[in-house]
Each structure stands twice: as structure tokens, then as C-alpha cells.
Amino acid sequence: MTAGGAAADDALPAGSDSRAPSLHQLRLFVALADELHFSRAADRLFITQSALSQQIKDLERRLGLRLFTRTSRAVSLTAPGQVLLVDAREAVAAVDRLRRSAETQARRASGRLVVGSIGAEAAMPHTRAVLRLLHDRHPQIHVEVRSLNFADHVDALFRQEVDVVFLRPPVPKGIDVQHLVTEPRVACLPADDPLADREWITLAQLAHHPVIDVPPEVPRNWWDFWVVDPRPDNTPVRYGPVASDMEGLLHLVAQGKGMCFLPAAARDFFPRPGVRYLDVVDLSPSTAALAWLKTHRSQPIIDAVLEVARSFSRGEDSGPRGA
């Protein structure tokens, strides 16, 4: 078939709708292009398959082009569909960025600070001290704390869903941190592990223990630090199953599926049946920090919380401190 023939096949009959496509239809187009399956795409979008099909047909009428080839066995993108998909993704992403930016500006205009926290960081003495000091100095700032999992504790900053995050470095480029406290890391082992009855162990003794892994969305350099990969003696790290958050990680450890390293405070914040925490004498410590986007450093509400964090770090707060 010639290129002209292909174009004719992909074009809709004359009299097609000339209205601009809606953002909702573009989202449906992108989802169906990802799944190439009406039923799966409809489930992902929480709509019925018939509603999705009708919206795609309407989108095609508006564009005057067939975007998908449908058979009883498969759904595939047409050549025009492949080209327009690039623009559709960009349009959806641009509107999402606009929405997030507007939400961020609205938060700051109203004096609302959204604080992210990973693991038990929101309950740590240093976090409570910083937030208490922030309230004392800036009572007009309303603070909302959101719990974040392994995958989104950094992405939430880049997506501007939170303004700052209490976390454990390292962090990727584009993010700055204010150090708050330093504490040891400990090994988290199944309670029935042969090493679990010891008072302390070394990294070499853990060389062949499988380590719980995290989803690919998690910054790899962050998890490499926490699993000590590479090990000092270059022993390869053997990975086990994947956990997305702290509860999932501890469950896998208790089930004997692997081990992990955590801040020493985990002993107090995450006591669990089937889990034992051990000191590791040659393991470097961890730091707790407040993180923010470098590009947002000059914004007044960010500057307020950072100045408070610096005051805490300098010891100007009389509340409890970490190790």
C-alpha cells in the first residue's frame, strides 16, 4: 500500500467534527495507547469500556483521524495515532504541571505548608522540635503533614505535592538538605536468623544474606546507601523481594525473605514480632535532614521553615534531640 493509501485509510470520512479535543479525551487516548486493551484501560481509568470506546470515537471525529486500529483480537495505534500520541502526552503533562503549580501557589498564598515524611520521621524528636519551633515563630503558618512511601518521598518534591520533606539522605540532584541529627544504622533481621541472638555483628557476617529491594521508581543511589551496595570487600549484594514502604519491608523481614538496614531509632518506632535489630560495628551512620527543591529556596514560606531547621541544627531549640 502506498503512503497516500495509508493516509486515506487513516482519515475519517468528510464531515468530521472540528471541535478541539478535551483534556479528558487526551488522557483517555494516552491511557489506551499505554494499555492497547480497552478493558484494561477502562479499569485503569475507573470508567466503563463502552464509555471509553465512545470517548475515543468522539476524539477521532474531532481530530478527523483514526487513532486506533481495532480487531476482535487486538488494538493498535495507527501511524497518525503514533504521531499524535507524543503531542497528547505533552499536553496532558503540561496541564498537570500547571495544576500542580497553581496548587502550590495557592498553598503559599494561604500560608499553608505541606510537609512530607518518610517512615517514622514525622514522629522523630528532631521533626517534632522543628515543627514546634516553626509554630512558635510563625503561628500564622498552617502545617499539613503527609506520609510518603519509598518511591514518592523524593518525587513528591519534584511534583510540588509537598513543600519540604523530612527524610534520610542521600538525595538526587535538584534537592538541597539541612542536616538535623546523626544516628547509627542497625541491621534488621528475621528473629529466627542464626545471627539474631548476638549483641553485635559485622558487615562481613551479612555478606550472603539477601536484602529486601525497592521498586525501580525509588532513586537507586538512595537504596544503594541503605543496603551498603557495594560492600567494603566488594561482595555482591544479593537482592530479595521488593517492598514499597516500611510496613511492607518489615513484613518481608519477619517472614524470613531478607534483611535490611535502618536507622537505630527503628528499635523504638518499629518493634515487630519476628524482627530483631542488631548493632553493626563497621556500618556508617545515617543522617536525618529536611529537604527542599533548590529552585524554591527563595520562597518566603520555604525560607521560614529552613531558618527554623538551621536554628535547631545550631542547638537553639531546647527540645529533645537525636543521637
The H-or-E segment that residue 24 falls in is helix 23-35
In angstroms, rounded to a whole number, what is the distance separating the alpha carbons of residues 155 and 100? 13
Q: How far apart are CA 26 and CA 63, in angstroms?
A: 11
Please check whether residue 195 is in contact with residue 201, taking contact to mean a CB–CB distance below 8 angstroms: yes
From CA 242, how far away is CA 135, in angstroms rounded? 38
Whole-angstrom CA distances from 25 to 138, 295, 316 are 44, 33, 54
**pLDDT per residue as tens, the chain (323 positions):** 334 444 456 666 555 566 789 999 999 999 999 999 999 998 988 899 999 999 999 999 999 999 999 887 889 999 999 999 999 999 988 888 787 776 766 666 557 899 999 999 999 999 999 999 999 999 989 999 999 999 899 999 998 889 999 999 999 999 999 999 999 999 999 999 999 999 999 999 999 999 999 999 999 999 999 999 999 999 999 999 999 999 999 999 999 999 999 999 999 999 999 999 999 999 999 999 999 999 988 888 898 999 999 999 988 654 545 44
